[in-house]
Structure 1
Amino acid sequence: MIDQIKVLLKSVTGEACTPKAIWKLVYTAIGYVSSFFAAAVLLKDLTGYDILERLIKGHWKTVLIVSLLSSCLHNRKKVNCCKKVSNCDIQIAISVKDIFQNRTANSYVIPTNTFFRTQMDNEYISPNSVQGRFQLKYFNGKLHDLDGLISKSLNSQEIKGLLTSDCFGPVIKYPIGTVAKIDRKGKHFYFVAINDVNEYGKPIGQSIEHVSIALTAVADAIKRMGHYDNLCIPLLGSGHAAIQGATKEDVFQQTVDFFIQCDEKLASKLIISINPKDYLDEKIDLTRMEKYLDYRCEFGKMITSVPCKKA
């Protein structure tokens, strides 16, 4: 909630620091108040009519409110945008908010490890990661239920894994790109294995190729057992997976390109979720992202499409 308030302040001021953001709003509002009074005085000097001056003095509270609203509009920067792909029945949106605050989405992509571990002890799964936030929101205190649902999904697909062990004991390691589909509270969640981890849950052997493998695997899972609806996806591999070379902008472009060029419809609307902290820390450039999205949505289908087949 605090991050969302900071995002709101930054969106209307351009300042990540809350005191600076508030001050920018205030002094811009003061500028508008001064402009209103200056206009009233100028009208009186030129024509002799003081009606505007009396009106402003008699409704000074309204003038302050209008000035503050004008200040917000003057400094406002967009943090969300949505574009329709040309000649294709799909919309792609950029949303700066926690992934699970995108309530218009029906399905979500959750990056995970090849062990499909859910333990949060010693931050094996970080509570700040997408998977960690999912577990706290939907399975807080009931991780055994989540483990059962993941195992059920993997077993139903007859996916073969390799028996190994980590700090919690025996575990099955699945290939990169393995997807387990979980249904919870009317929503659909696609857990996709995007990185290997050591016995303590720390990422190892990261590769930028894992991002494309994960995207292809999610597309295949949607076609086999998913739903054509609003899909929300984070910037895969650019967070706690710590994939070398997976910069946020590169992953964003790769995600946009993949869904635009795919030869089958995977979603009616794709929502690319940007972590508010990344926006506040200026790790992303929303203006560049929107320009890229606008260009690709307008001309993307002119490029030869690529089939969405499982890697």
Structure 2
Amino acid sequence: MKYIFKLFSARYIETIGSFLLIKELIYVLTGSERLENFSNYLVFGVLPVIVCIIALLRKCFFTDYSIEETDSKISLSFGNILKKTGIIIIPVNQEFDTFVGDGIVSPRSLHGKFINKFYKNDLTTLNALIDTELQKQQVSFTPRPNKTKGKQKSYPLGTCVRIEKKNKIFILAALTTFDDSCHAEPINKFHRNEFLSKIWAWIRSNEEPNDIHFPLIGSGNSRMKGTSQEKYRAIVDSGIAEISQAKTFQTFDITLPFCTFSKYEEFDEYIRFKALYKEISNPDQINIGTETN
């Protein structure tokens, strides 16, 4: 809320100054005395507030920057990533479970929201699509006969399954692993970076240039260690590294939930810096998707 108030106040002062300057210029150039009666409540009240609200709403939904020496852009947005178009990354568990609830897939997770929105009454089709993709890729799996709920085949971290639905491309990417009692196990930064690296490698090999949208990976029930800032920076850095080497997409977008908007200023400053300088903190150790902070 502090940042929202700060942004609103700054825009309000700037807008009043601009309106007063325009008013004086028109008066000087035209000599029109009618401007003397120009209502102060429009200058100091209604118009600045309208401008500020528009500016704030734009910030809430979309900010983008061109990345130096490339044809790509990086953007930061807030809202529902499932409403985006292009390629949408959906972190899922390594068993590719599809049953929402009963301690398997949380309805509050992006995984659960994806299933409920697009396949709630058609899990048979979704399961068939997932199985077909995994068989086509000939991905090895680990049997989980002692897992008490859900599917009993576990696939490697970063395994990707492509699902097309309503002119959107969803990449279901295996992240979370469960113990036999269906409790999510912790994910450290090394697993996080390996996960990001495998997503980029898969996209590079299988997708045409397109807009790509990442959620704030690890913000739900995946038990990924680290702050939201650390997770955000890891995603940004992996995308910048990919753009610098492969340039396989048009706009690289990170879509965040509205509950993180209080950190907008910090998030925005980070992508603006990266778009301009494409700086990697540890260039000797960088791999696409590797943590760089």
TM-score where L is the length of structure 1: 0.74
Task: Call closer, same or farther: CA 1:252–1:13 in 2, change over 3 Å.
Answer: closer
CA deviations over 1:210-229 (Å, ceiling 9, x no partner):
22111111111112222310
Task: Call closer, same or farther: CA 1:134–1:14 in 2, change over 3 Å.
Answer: farther
Q: Which residue of the partner structure matches residue 207 of structure 1?
A: 188
Alignment partner of 1:217 is 2:198: yes
Q: Which residue of the partner structure matches residue 14 of structure 1?
A: 5
* Higher Cα Rg, which structure: 1
Separation of aligned partners in 2, 1:170 and 1:133: 19
What is the identity, as a one-letter code, of the residue corresponding to 1:101?
A: K
TM-score where L is the length of structure 2: 0.78
Q: Which residue of the partner structure matches residue 140 of structure 2?
A: 160
Task: Call closer, same or farther: CA 1:11–1:168 in 2, change over 3 Å.
Answer: same
Q: Which residue of the partner structure matches residue 232 of structure 2?
A: 252
Alignment partner of 1:226 is 2:169: no
Task: Call closer, same or farther: CA 1:302–1:252 in 2, change over 3 Å.
Answer: closer
The equivalences for 1:92-107 within 5 A come to 92-102=74-84, 105-107=85-87
Separation of aligned partners in 2, 1:225 and 1:51: 65
Separation of aligned partners in 1, 2:218 and 2:111: 12
Of 115, 124, 140 in structure 2, the residue corresponding to residue 135 of structure 1 is: 115
CA deviations over 1:88-127 (Å, ceiling 9, x no partner):
221110001111133xx31100001111111113252122
Q: Which runs of 5+ in 1 are unaligned?
A: 1-9, 16-20, 40-48
What is the identity, as a one-letter code, of the residue corresponding to 1:202?
A: H
Q: Which residue of the partner structure matches residue 224 of structure 2?
A: 243
Is the CA contact (8 Å cut-off) linking 2:99 and 2:105 kept in structure 1? Answer: yes
Aligned residues: 265
Separation of aligned partners in 1, 2:128 and 2:2: 42
Is the CA contact (8 Å cut-off) linking 1:235 and 1:252 kept in structure 2? Answer: yes
Separation of aligned partners in 2, 1:65 and 1:101: 38
Separation of aligned partners in 2, 1:184 and 1:169: 24
Separation of aligned partners in 1, 2:257 and 2:121: 25
Q: Secondary structure at the match of 2:138?
A: coil
The equivalences for 1:144-159 within 5 A come to 144-159=124-139
Q: Which residue of the partner structure matches residue 278 of structure 2?
A: 300
What is the identity, as a one-letter code, of the residue corresponding to 1:223?
A: R
What is the identity, as a one-letter code, of the residue corresponding to 1:211?
A: R
- Give how far 1:169 is off: 5.7
Separation of aligned partners in 2, 1:169 and 1:290: 39
Separation of aligned partners in 2, 1:68 and 1:12: 22
Is the CA contact (8 Å cut-off) linking 1:87 and 1:301 kept in structure 2? Answer: no
Q: Which residue of the partner structure matches residue 187 of structure 1?
A: 168
Q: Which residue of the partner structure matches residue 63 of structure 2?
A: 81
